[in-house]
Structure 1
Amino acid sequence: MTHAAPRAPRPSGRLLSWLLLAIVSSLVMVAFAVMPPKRLDNVLYDILARANGRPADPSILIVDIDDRSLAQLGAWPWSRDIHARMVDRLTEAGARTIVYDVLFSEAGDPAQDQALGEAIKRSGRVYLPQFLADAGAGAPPRVVGSVPAIAQGAAGVGLAHVRFDDDGVVRRMAPFEISGVSLSPDLVTVVHRATRPVGARDVTRGFDETLLIPFAGPPSIYRHVSFSSVLAGEAPPSLIAGHTVFVGLTAPGLGPAFPTPVTPDAASMTGVQLQASILDGLRSGLMVKPAGPWSRAAFTLTLLWLLMVGFLVLPPRANLALTIGLCLVGLAYSAAMFWLGQIWLSPIATVLGLQIIALLWGWGQLGRVNDLLSRELARVRGIVRGRGRGTAPADFESDVVSRQASNLGEAITRMDDLRRFSADALFSLPDATLVADAHGRVIAANAAAQALFKPSQIQLTGSSLADLINALEPLGHRFELDWPPNPHHLATERHEPIDLHLPDGRAFQLQTVFRRDETDAPAGWIVRLADISILTAAMRQREQALQLLTHDMRSPQTSILALLATTPGVPTELSDRIAAYAKRTLALADGFVQLARAEVTPVHLEPVDLADIAVEAIDEVWPQSLQRKIRIEQVGGDTPLTVLGDRGVLARTLVNLLGNAVKYSPEGSTITVSLSEQPSASGPTANVAIADQGPGFSREEATTAFRPFQRFERPGHDFAVNGVGLGLAFVQAAVTRHGGEVSCRSAPGVGAEFTVRLPRHTVGPAN
């Protein structure tokens, strides 16, 4: 019974859902930005207004018509001569501006009205209020002011009109009110324009219908003095001189009182106190302007689309943090605009919208995950049933969560069985076996692998395959961190085996297989280290037997040469030919012995100076070079280049390279032997480079130069005839056994350069 692989969610469906939510939420959020929930906006505005404490204008003085004044001067309303005396008193005391917030709309005693009007005219700095009265029958409201006998001498008149928000709280003022077909200025607007310094900014001249009042605090923040105290001369002139004096009703129940953001009590701010707060805001330039609909929409859409982008690129927990962060940014930006820019940009609709949209997206994602989990768990349960594993749950569970929990339990049980089966199979293998993930990190190892790597004291789980294999210190191999290579570009996912020889004589064959999961995605590696020490020993015995054969080959050839040297009468041509064949056979036997020693015989490592060995090799080939008039130059080597090696094997290695250089070089040429120390990824190396001026060879020939019995013949040259093709094979085997490498660089007609690189040995401090 086969089961199809799980169908992955289509990205296009998720993107379509995201796009639909983005469009709908943008339209809804813009609508809320243009028509925000005013009650919630007002709550936040009141909080910011109360937190925006500032000093009150010290030039403002309120003269209270309070309970004390009523007790001393009698019941309200007072006669007009009392008000005339107050105007004269304030004028004499040097008041800069007098805002008399009392409406004298009814004609009184003509003499007293005349006296009050003359006092106002003498002062020349008194401003009187007007009110909008209902004209009835659908007619526009009419403006009602003081009688002409009183108002004609006033410095200015204006409407004392109060604007209420939907919740009945006063937060704003209108610089102008519509009265019929004309606009009537507010009383405070008139006072501000008449008394502001020349060139000072006037926010009442803008296009804003209303301005939000930046209350400095409750009414008590301004200086107050009782009406009766001023009238009786009890108030010092310094309290009045140069001040803007507001005169109005403050006694409880005597006049209207209005709720404001800074006065929770509905009867705590009277009209004259409200006018003083408005004038303070106008003079300070801190009147708050409501943001326009386009500004609110841009602010909302910016935060919304930041959140929507986060939905696409961030995980759920990060999106939760992003939602909270954007809400805090919106609140902070609104507060900064209010306190620093005097602009009211409410974030309430934006913050609530972001939270609702985040919930909708989260619920949608949760629903998709729930559907996917249900399908996958049902599929696993079907696999378990099909294989006779476990007991199927009832067809009808109490709820969806219970069904999913039942399926999940079956899946875990099945996965645990598979894990145990895989572990048993892995640990039963006789060879060391490692299982790694796609990044080359070990996730499982059998008992043989643990025993193999135990001396290195490396934690297997989590270590890289390259580090583990390098910890065995294989001779001639150094694996980079990205080993094994990714097989995407290879035709097969099974690599060629690699023979590893350890310093203790053991040998292993390294086999790697790349594995994939059911969706053909990379899953990791299986690495097997098969112990081939017995096979290697057998090969070594074969080589030893071969050495015995080569020894038996040497004796007859030596005897032939001896007979030729002592037997007279042999023709010279025949004698030379027989001697050449015998010498060739001896060279072949010597080559076999040397190659076998380099490949099989354990080397005895000890600190040796590679520079001294190079000098010895130069001395050994000197007679040959002298015969052909070839000069050998040594570059470097003034300081010791200490390596760990077998002196005899390394000397034979350099002699072979120098001998080839002498043999291939034309007469009168120069051979250069360069000794140096170079850095590398695995540590410093001691390098010996031998360069000749011979005919060289092609890139294809260079790749096969180190193969046994490889010989290169050149027309017009006889230097290849005397060789057997084992010298370079010996060089490579010897260098590899010493943990180094040898390379060749050449081109036809420019000579060849062979470079031997061996790990540099540094002598540590004595214990």
Structure 2
Amino acid sequence: MLLTGILLLLQLTTLEERINFWLYDKAITTWSAPIDDNLALVGIDEHSLDALGRWPWDRNLHARLIDQLADAGAEVIVLDILFPEPSSSDQALADAMERHGRVVLPIHYSPATPKQRMAEQLPAPLLEKTASALGHVHVELEDDGVARGLYLYNSLGNHRRPALALAAQDRVNPSGHAPDAPAYTNVRSEFRFVPLAGGADTIPAHSYVDVLNGAVSLENFAGKTVFIGATAVGFGDILSTPFSGLGRPMSGVEFHANVYSASRQNTLISSAPGWASIALALVILLGLANSLPRLKPAATVLACSVSFALVLVTYFVVLRSLHYHLSAANALLLPMIALPVASGLRLAMANRFLNRQLDDLARTPQLALPDPSRRHPHQLLEHLSALLQPQGWLLAEGRDLLAVKGMTLADVPTNIQVGQWSHHGNQSWIRLIRGGSGYLLGLTLPDDLSREVIQLYLQNLKLEDPSAPALEPGAQENLSRRIEKVRTATERLSQMQAFISHSFERMPDGIIVTDELGVIRFANRHIEAWFREPMPSLSGLPLTRLLEGHDPRDAAPWYETVSETLTLRQSRTVDLKIHNKDFLIHLAPFALPDSNQFGIIANISDISELREQQRQHREAIDFISHDVRSPLVSQLALIEQLKRDPSHIDERQLEQLGRLARRSYHLAEEFVQLARAEQLTETRFYECEFLAIVENARDSVCEQAQEKQISLQVIGTEDLWLKGNAELLERAVINLMTNAVQYSPPGSAITVQVYRAGHLACLAIADEGSGIDQAELPMLFDRYHRQKRSELAGTHGTGLGLSFVKTVVEKHRGDISVESTAGEGTTFILKLPIADPMP
């Protein structure tokens, strides 16, 4: 009703007409019509007016042109020039027309004077008598001033005149007759749209004077219908067309030539009957009215788009194939109107619903879980099997077995009440009613100490609620069903909102909440990320299956841990490994609200960092016990040797004692520096100049380089200001330079470049040493890692220097990389962000 009402209101405007015109113009200009081969055009253009003088010309010229075209073999000549008044040269023109035999002249309808009635403006009597046919030249202009078609017949009095193009074809309808109307009334009939071949000058025109003087080959007119008329700008009638609008109008003679071309090819377009447009609009209206209320919002857009496209396709097919112009505006407007109307109605309904639900949210802050009495027996059996791992089970509907393992109907005891568990030895039975059908569920429990605990747990399960209202069957409208689902979800969400938002989601640990059957009902974002399981698949999944799927184990299986947590109501803490990361899961039972049942809260903590710290601690202990202890033991042994014979102290012994002491000092210093780097935070950052840091580091290493006659050159002149810790940065650069000196041969060169690359301050230290094996590059910055080649060559390191450098660079949000070629040297490249990269 809304669509119909809006559509009727739009009929009071010109919107429908404009859309129809727009459709037609798009179709015509997109697929222009071909030009008939039996057509030629001679134009009275500017060149002809310049050559032959002002209009009107002597009619002897027209006679000569007709003779020229007759000699060329023109089949029909259409002289689209009005000759309303007699002339002295009419006889010559009439003789030429009679010699050819098929010359068509135009007639015009207009009053002779403004005070007279409508009348036919015929050619001069002699010319009218000689012409083979007369045709009207009236072209119909639409309300927007564009010529899209014409009436094939005009009637005034008892004379029924065909259009000029039809007269040229001799296609006058012999059965037609002039209607009974006053002699001064112009009655038009059989309107046709004209599929134009293009804009102005699309049909090639030969100049009047060139044809007259023989400058045009006569072969261009042999066997053709030749239209002759005015084409000069400002001379003769001009028409705006769909191709040109008001920019480049078409001459009247070219328009009539297009009519002739379309008529010969039977492509003139008729107006479709009114009932066809109404039928199309009615089909779209009924289709949208019946489908949109049942569709989702996204599908509504698609349905309206498909309807719109269907109308367009129907219009173009009817236009191009059947040559009917269908008024499709109303059918096109319907999808455009239907989309906002349907959306508005849906939003209004949803708004009223949400307002009511928002009021309910404030009044019902409770935690709600799915009621086990609403679950289907198949689902109950699946959940109980995953939780308790029974030795056997049986599920039957009446006498039909639905699922069975190790049990038979012969084992069923008598007098089993609905909703009450009956225990016989290690077997437990219960009857359930779901949807008017009766079900029998039986379990065979392990015959051990856990049986009594499990049976007590089952006894407390409330699987049947006689007071629960049955769901009323019946089809509902799609939107109503969605609203009902939203209402139910809103109730649950409102009751869990405070608990989830304030307790679970903001915790640093992963949280899983299960119901009394060990089925996951809630998991926070950490669980989704750590287990790499989408949240929809987590909800409703038994906890045991989740854990077994990611960390299967033979000893102490997960189902025992989970079931004991529920049955014994005791907490459990177990190690867990997920995707090569270490976790600790703590399972704790908790009482469900408004129930005497217990669920599980599983707290999962990521202890990967702790385990990594433990590993580093063990490595540090091993390092200290070997690398630090070894030089100290050597020092003590050497000191004891010197104490036994203090009178014979060798200088080499003192140098060895000094080397051992310095090695112990360096080890301690490396440990201290690495600890400082790991504890570095941005609160200890300040502005410092990078080039000055590098030059200070060069000065600290310069003496060591000179001892090996190594050239240590710093290249760089630009001040690069960083925000960082200059002391630790200098120590990191010293480490890199020291390594370069230590591993470079005497007499070589070390190049240190400081430069800017975009918003980064870069340092490149290149040596000419023996290089680093490609196999060791990935482990180069690992703690306590030392190169095998260096160790074998006698160059001993602590394995902490490069680890310290990497830690300092990462604390400054920078990057360090290494490029090395065996036998050619190594280049370390350090990149740090500039404090203010804009200048």
Q: TM-score, normalised by structure 1?
A: 0.51
Give the direction of change, closer, same or farther, for the CA distance of 1:42–1:506 in structure 2 (3 Å limit): same
Query: Cα distance 1:36–1:138, how it changes in 2: closer, same or farther (>3 A)?
Result: farther
The 8 Å contact of residues 77 and 226 in structure 2, kept in 1 or not, is answered as yes
Q: Which has the higher contact order (CA 8 A, sep 6+)?
A: 1
Cα contact 1:169–1:260 (8 A) shared by 2? yes
- The corresponding residue for 1:67 is 46
Q: Which amino acid aligns with 1:488?
A: G
Q: Deviations over 1:116-160 (max 9, x none)?
A: 011101110110000001256886521112101222111101111
2:69 equivalent in structure 1? 90
Alignment of 1:559-598 (within 5 A): none
Distance change in 2, residues 1:55/1:185 (3 Å): closer
Q: Is the 8 A contact 2:162 2:172 kept in 1?
A: no
1:160 is aligned to 2:141:
no
Query: Matches of residues 237-386 of structure 1 in structure 2 within 5 Å?
Result: 237-381=218-362, 383=363
Deviation, structure 1 residue 285? 0.9
Distance change >3 Å, CA 439–CA 42, structure 1 → 2: farther
- One-letter amino acid of the counterpart of residue 193, structure 2: L
By how many angstroms is 1:289 displaced?
1.3
Q: Does the 8 A contact of 1:26 with 1:301 survive in 2?
A: no
Amino acid at match of 2:155: I
- Could you tell me which amino acid in structure 2 is paired with residue 333 of structure 1? T
Q: Which residue of 2 aligns with 1:193?
A: 170
- Does structure 1 conserve the Cα–Cα contact (< 8 Å) formed by 2:431 and 2:441? no
Q: Match for residue 502 of structure 1?
A: 446
In structure 2, what is the Cα distance between the partners aligned to 1:299 and 1:56? Answer: 33
The whole-number CA distance in structure 2 between the counterparts of 1:162 and 1:184 is 14
Is contact 1:175–1:185 with CA below 8 Å preserved after alignment?
A: yes
Distance 1:512 1:274, change over 3 A: same
Q: CA deviation at 1:71?
A: 1.6
Q: Pick the aligned partner of 1:100 from 65, 71, 79.
A: 79
Could you tell me which residue of structure 1 aligns to residue 536 of structure 2? none
Question: Partner of 2:435 in structure 1?
Answer: 488
Q: Which is worse superposed, 502-511 or 372-381?
A: 502-511
In 1, Cα distance between the equivalents of 2:134 and 2:467?
Answer: 88
Map of 1:201 onto structure 2: none
Of 513, 516, 520 in structure 1, the residue corresponding to residue 463 of structure 2 is 513
Note closer, same or farther for the CA distance 1:135–1:153 as it changes in structure 2 (3 Å cut).
Answer: closer
SS at match of 2:268: coil
Shift of 1:24: 4.2
Secondary structure of the structure 1 residue equivalent to 2:167: helix
Residue 222 of structure 1, aligned match among 203, 218, 226: 203
- The DSSP-based 3-state class of the residue aligned with 1:209 is strand
Conserved? CA contact 2:43–2:229, under 8 Å: yes
Q: Residues of 2 paired with 1:208 and 1:326: CA distance?
A: 34
Which residue of the other structure, out of 110, 115, 133, is the alignment partner of 1:133? 110
Q: Following TM superposition, by how much is the alpha carbon of 1:74 offset from its aligned partner in structure 2, in angstroms?
A: 1.4
**Are the equivalent residues in 1 in contact too, given 2:200–2:248 (CA < 8 A)?**
no
Q: Deviations over 1:611-666 (max 9, x none)?
A: xxxxxxxxxxxxxxxxxxxxxxxxxxxxxxxxxxxxxxxxxxxxxxxxxxxxxxxx
SS in structure 1 of the partner of residue 284 of structure 2: helix
What amino acid maps onto 2:144 in structure 1? D
Deviation larger for 473-482 or 280-289: 473-482
User: Relative to structure 1, is the Cα distance of residues 372 and 70 closer, same or farther in structure 2, using a 3 angstrom cutoff?
Assistant: same
Shift of 1:97: 0.8
- My pick for the range that moved more, 115-124 or 519-528, is 519-528
Do structure 1's residue 169 and structure 2's residue 146 form an aligned pair?
Answer: yes
Q: Does 1:469 align with 2:385?
A: yes
Q: Tell me which structure has the larger Cα radius of gyration.
A: 1
1:525-674 mapped onto 2 (5 Å cutoff): none
Is the CA contact 1:257–1:270 (under 8 Å) kept in the aligned structure 2? Answer: yes
Unaligned runs of 5+ in 1: 1-19, 199-206, 385-413, 427-433, 443-463, 536-767
SS at match of 2:73: coil
Following superposition, the deviation at residue 327 of structure 1 comes to: 1.0
Q: Partner amino acid for 1:129?
A: P
Cα distance in 1, alignment partners of residues 263 and 4 from structure 2? 42
Would you say the 8 A contact 2:394–2:441 is kept in 1?
no
Identify which of 108, 123, 134 aligns with 1:146: 123
C-alpha distance in structure 1 between counterparts of 2:158 and 2:469, whole Å: 79
Structure-1 separation of matches of 2:324 and 2:403: 60
Please point out which of 193, 207, 210 is paired with 1:212: 193
In the TM superposition, 1:670-689 aligns within 5 A as: none
Aligned residue identity for 1:227: Y
Deviations 1:473-515 (A, max 9, x none): 5334245479996523269xxx888452238885343455146
In structure 1, the residue matched to 2:94 is 117
Quick check: 2:153–2:189 contact (8 Å CA) kept in 1?
Answer: no
Q: Look up the match of 2:16.
A: 37
SS in 2 for 1:175: strand
Q: Which letter does structure 1 place at the counterpart of 2:390?
A: P
How far apart are the structure 2 equivalents of 1:496 and 1:262? 80
In 2: Cα distance, 1:61 partner to 1:534 partner: 101
In 2 relative to 1, CA 474–487 (structure 1 residues): closer, same or farther, beyond 3 Å?
Answer: same
**Separation in structure 1 between the aligned mates of residue 387 and residue 150 of structure 2, nearest angstrom:** 83
Pick closer, same or farther for the CA change 1:23–1:215 going to 2, 3 Å: closer
Amino acid of the residue matched to residue 102 of structure 2?
Answer: R
**Is this contact kept in 2: 1:62–1:223, CA < 8 A?**
yes
Deviation of 1:274 after TM superposition, in Å, equals: 0.6
1:2-31 per-position Cα deviation (integer Å, ceiling 9, x unaligned): xxxxxxxxxxxxxxxxxx4466468668x6
Q: How far has the Cα of 1:189 moved from its partner?
A: 1.9
Deviations 1:340-371 (A, max 9, x none): 22111133332223322332232122112212
Q: 1:486 to 1:298 in 2, by over 3 A?
A: farther
Q: Please tell me the residue identity of whatever aligns with 1:502.
A: P
Q: Find out whether 1:81 has 2:31 as its counterpart.
A: no
* Separation of aligned partners in 2, 1:137 and 1:80: 28
Query: Match of 1:286, SS?
Result: coil
Match of 1:636 in 2: none
- Which structure has more strand as a fraction of its residues? 2
Computed over aligned residues only, the root mean square deviation of the Cα atoms, in angstroms, reads 4.0
Residues 1:472 and 1:160: Cα distance change in structure 2 (over 3 Å): same
CA contact (8 A) 1:470 1:478 kept: no
Q: May I ask how many residue pairs the two structures share in their alignment?
A: 435
CA–CA separation in structure 2 for the residues paired with 1:318 and 1:484: 44
- The answer to whether the 8 Å contact 2:63/2:97 transfers is yes
2:90 counterpart letter in structure 1: D
- Asked if structure 1 preserves the Cα contact closer than 8 Å seen for 2:86 and 2:125, the reply is no
Residue 73 of structure 1 aligns with an amino acid whose one-letter code is: L
Q: Give the structure 2 partner of residue 178 of structure 1.
A: 155
CA contact (8 A) 1:436 1:526 kept: no
Is this contact kept in 2: 1:99–1:245, CA < 8 A?
A: yes
Task: Look up the match of 2:214.
Answer: 233
